[in-house]
Amino acid sequence: MASVLDRPVRPGVAGRLFRGQPAWFSTLFWMDMWERFSFYGMTAILYLYASAPVADGGFGMPAGSAAALFGTYMSLVFLAALPGGWLADRVLGTRRAVVYGGAGIAAGHAVLSLPARWSLYLGLLLVIVGTGLLKPAMATLVTSPHRDDDRRREAAMSIFYMSIQLSALLAPVVVGLLAEKVAWHLGFGAAAVGMTAGLIVYAAGARRFGDLGLRPAAPLPPDRRRVLGRRAGTVVGVVGLVLVMGGASGVIHIEHVLMASGLLLLVLPVGYILALRRIPALTHADRGRLGAFVVLLAGSSVFWLLYAQGGSVLAMFAQQHTDRDIAGWTVPVSWFQSAHPFFILVLAPMFATLWLRLGARVDVPVKFAGALVCVGASWLLLAVAARLATGGDVSPGWLLTAFLLQVCGELALAPVGLSLAVKVAPPGYTSQYLGLFWLFAAVGAGLGGQLARLAGSLSLPAYFLLFGGLATAVGVVLAGALRWLRRHVGDAPAPATH
């Protein structure tokens, strides 16, 4: 009997769009499409809402604190993939992790739609927890048919990465228009409606999966599960009580939480990597692959450091230094966040085809190095634009070109890095290796949020020049280590063909 992985996609639009993929691929697409609507809607308005004056319906944070909040949110979204991936692998199974994660995201946006100051923190917490459960489980399901086929696995991730950008393209337009032109909380509410729709579609298509992802890949023994459950409950309860009492008494402020999150991000990677190295199933070769993977991910954290400031520092640049007037109507700042998904929709099919044609001639280390050079070049370009902006608002073409370069880097790093995580992970630990990928993304995003405060003390040209130069330099360093990286991650360049 054919397994669920071999079942062909039904004819029709979905069949043409997802040709060669399992029948359940379209169900995951619709679910992740709405999750991306939530994510991109949030990135479009969170910084703007947090920094907007209270008199205008905003939260009234200083610009530096709002940027730090945005960066911390982005980093915690990535960081939550660690416990989320572990729970999917050991306790829930990927299917239930997707359901619980989607429900958490929908609940978080529903809370954010309430016009109360406390709703910001509770709503963000729910969205973070939900995303941490959903994202690694979703990636595991998507790549499951092609675990042993590098090129098809990367192509499948690229197709999926492209497809979900349809909602990401619309989210800043819809959410941003409602938030900036009508009411901030109405924008948050729109994402809640979308995520609920995604859950309904996912539930309706559940039968397509068969037994895939129904049970944990490496289930935890029941006695150990109970012990860890009690410990986790105690820690969460104590931390929650401290935060509530500290906030109510005025002893703990949001700045303290942001600083503690930044320190946590510096400690976690070391502890997590050491824990992975102690996994009994890892062979000597596995540990060598893990080491090379970590070096690549350390470089990628610099990419995310710059990328994650697209919704804060770059949004500020769009708001204060970019000409947004069209025939007397001012384009909402949040609409610039649609540039990323638009360019992904245009470029992702080209990149997917390119990877298949080039094969091992352009391998993972080369792609990572190229991604860093691209994002570095985008910020060096913005340094020029910021210098010109001292004489008046500049054309939006500067910012859009910078986003284009960042998307080229993203397509060379994000789907390829996730695919590599699947390749180097021992059986049963895929979600945890995917979590490691997002951990380094969290480190970059969190540091980027904290460093964004420098944009208020340094000149903008100097700020863009400093970090653009850093990313470019790291890309050059990775390029210099190609031979060592290739030896350990198992990639070697194919001989040139004539």
348-381 tens-digit pLDDT: 888 878 878 877 678 888 999 999 999 999 999 9
Between helix 118-143 and helix 430-451 the angle, nearest 10°, is: 140
* The most confident of 135-139, 144-148, 411-415, by mean pLDDT: 411-415
CA within 13 Å, CB half, 52? 20
Which tens digit of pLDDT belongs to each residue from 319-337?
999 999 988 888 999 999 9
Does residue 11 carry a pLDDT above 60? no
Neighbours of 456 (CB within 10 A): 14
Quickly state the pLDDT bin for 251 (edges 50, 70, 90). Answer: low
Task: Tokens for 24, please give them.
Answer: 């359940």
Q: Of 26-30, 42-46, 62-66, 471-475, which range is least confident? A: 26-30
Give all domains of the chain, ordered by start, each with its CATH number: 18-489 (1.20.1250.20)
Query: CA–CA separation, 303 vs 406, rounded Å?
Result: 9
Residues contacting 1, CB < 8 A, separation 6+: none
Please tell me what DSSP assigns to residue 60.
-
Quickly state the pLDDT bin for 471 (edges 50, 70, 90). Answer: very high
Q: What is the DSSP string of 239-268?
A: HHHHHHHHHHHTSS-HHHHHHHHHHHHHHH
Q: How many Å separate Cα 54 from the centre of its chain?
A: 29
Q: With pLDDT > 70 as the criterion, what percentage of the chain qualifies?
A: 83
Max intra-chain CA distance, the chain: 73
Which tens digit of pLDDT belongs to each residue from 262-276?
777 778 888 888 888
- Which has the higher per-residue pLDDT, 435 or 159? 435
Q: Of 322-326, 356-360, 448-452, 457-461, which range is least confident? A: 356-360
- Which has the higher per-residue pLDDT, 350 or 488? 350
The CA-based angle 199-15-155, given to 5 degrees, is 85
* Verdict on whether the full-model pTM lies above 0.75: yes
**pLDDT value for 405:** 96
Amino acid letter for position 286: D
Q: Of 175-179, 201-205, 238-242, 344-348, which range is least confident? A: 238-242
Query: CA–CA separation, 228 vs 222, rounded Å?
Result: 10
Residues contacting 59, CB < 8 A, separation 6+: 49, 50, 51, 52, 66, 117, 120
Quickly state the pLDDT bin for 431 (edges 50, 70, 90). Answer: low
Does residue 36 carry a pLDDT above 90? no
Does residue 34 carry a pLDDT above 50? yes
**pLDDT value for 298:** 92
